[in-house]
Structure 1
């Protein structure tokens, strides 16, 4: 692959997915796109790039983007964002929304579903304290392939060993051959949709809690600023946004501000979050420890 070909791929991926590839990622491009060449009967990466330039094969374009996106995830990843949901965000939301009994959560870049299903399990554990509540979890990802895997809710033994408490594996999963399938009751709690964060997501509506973790790290600063501003527009006035441990809003947008007590948690800049003050008064504990 020539330098010009690599630069074309960088530009293509940036435009289609926001992915900002650095020069040292060239080896990654070659290793991930070579199987795409074989799949589409193309003899080399040069032929693949030529086909992309023609722009007549939507399936090829989609597969190239999906091959280059990272789908690393596991149940209760990094733990703290889920402890925060259980102990602070959910109790706060139940108090604020008590009159309308509705809660909306968005998991952006949800990959193969472990993040939204982790939240679904926490909500299931809290269900006795939420009679009559309408809870919606919307989960989106740019990749149609991982969305289909998430919908099926089938995971390997290795995947269920990563972060999932054994008592919840027994409680919420059924073994299907060599895989484990999460219960239909939990699968029905999550609305999976294909979505590119570079495109408008206003049609999704407003959310009380947004998880957008470990995706902004792949974007350049202008793209991060744009996505964060649009996330802020979809966040309820007293809502909460959770980013990955290596991500921040500082220097990227003035619409959101870090929470003073909880790392990785952001709220609208103006009310700078009294979030968490009442949770100490009315904690919501679930039966199992994550």
Structure 2
């Protein structure tokens, strides 16, 4: 007689008390604000972790996090809530700005040093820094050095980024065919970025709430689609930290819906070719 398969455990909801506990923990550890309307998001992001841990629900997850041994698990909760999908050459206009304005300008400004330093904050699975690296290879002058620091809060996502291995679906999203042929190698069903691009990038775990004093200084910063998750005070704090690590004349690119308005009075909004950036005054 064939066995009847065990039905999958239904997704578990969370009590109001534990929802507030998780929101407070996530805010304390990452600065990300989750309001009362985001129950669905918390449940969708954390139920896979509940299943991985063999727990019977989100309330049990909260009880385990409260335990003395819950620090590592709490970190995994934060990672699950802060990992966001990305794609190659996302919102392509900033990359057009690099090609048409920013890199040519830096080639003049940095002609003695011949080194350009870039920071990709919250780099996720690596498509953004790899996109910058490929663009650089297309434009770079002989004898110039590009150093990209790519940071994220998640160990797991950094491991994926560092491997540089992408599914066919991932390379189909935003990556020009000529770059796929030129800068990737086939590995089974995946595509792996070539060493000439990988060597431009240093990967590092970093929390944007931490002191940035050991970073930089940078000529270019990408911190896109990150500030939207923070409250005003945290946004201002992060922007001040970034500005403090930018060289004079350096550019900061934010997401299309993000701004420094009422958050930082020093960074100057500047039209840069087809896009907008925020420039540290000379």
- Structure 2 spans left out of the alignment, 5+ residues: 1-13
Alignment match of 1:47 (pick from 28, 45, 60)? 60
Q: Secondary structure at the match of 2:214?
A: helix
RMSD: 1.3
Deviation at residue 261 of structure 1 after TM alignment? 5.3
Q: Tell me the equivalent position of 1:110.
A: 123
Distance 2:237 2:256 in 1: 20
Distance 2:194 2:21 in 1: 44
Deviation at residue 18 of structure 1 after TM alignment? 1.4
1:154 aligns to 2:165 (yes or no):
yes
Q: Is the 8 A contact 1:244 1:264 kept in 2?
A: no
Q: Tell me the equivalent position of 1:267.
A: 279
Q: Is the 8 A contact 2:151 2:206 kept in 1?
A: yes
Q: Tell me the equivalent position of 2:95.
A: 82
| TM-score, normalisation: structure 2 | 0.91
Q: Which gives a bigger RCO, structure 1 or 2 (Cα 8 Å, sep 6+)?
A: 1
Q: Is the 8 A contact 1:229 1:255 kept in 2?
A: no
- TM-superposition CA deviations, 1:174-219 (whole Å, max 9, x none): 1111111111111111101111111112212200000000000111
Deviation at residue 13 of structure 1 after TM alignment? 0.6
Distance 2:271 2:129 in 1: 26
Distance 1:260 1:83 in 2: 12
Q: Is the 8 A contact 1:248 1:264 kept in 2?
A: no
Q: Is the 8 A contact 1:256 1:266 kept in 2?
A: yes
Q: Tell me the equivalent position of 2:190.
A: 179
- TM-superposition CA deviations, 1:96-120 (whole Å, max 9, x none): 1101111100000111111000110
Q: Tell me the equivalent position of 2:114.
A: 101
| TM-score, normalisation: structure 1 | 0.89
Q: Secondary structure at the match of 1:60?
A: helix
Q: Secondary structure at the match of 2:137?
A: helix
Q: Secondary structure at the match of 1:204?
A: coil
Q: Tell me the equivalent position of 1:202.
A: 213
Distance 2:240 2:137 in 1: 32
Aligned length: 268
Q: Secondary structure at the match of 1:236?
A: strand
- Structure 1 spans left out of the alignment, 5+ residues: 272-290
Distance 1:73 1:260 in 2: 24
> Runs of 4 or more off by more than 4 Å in structure 1?
260-263
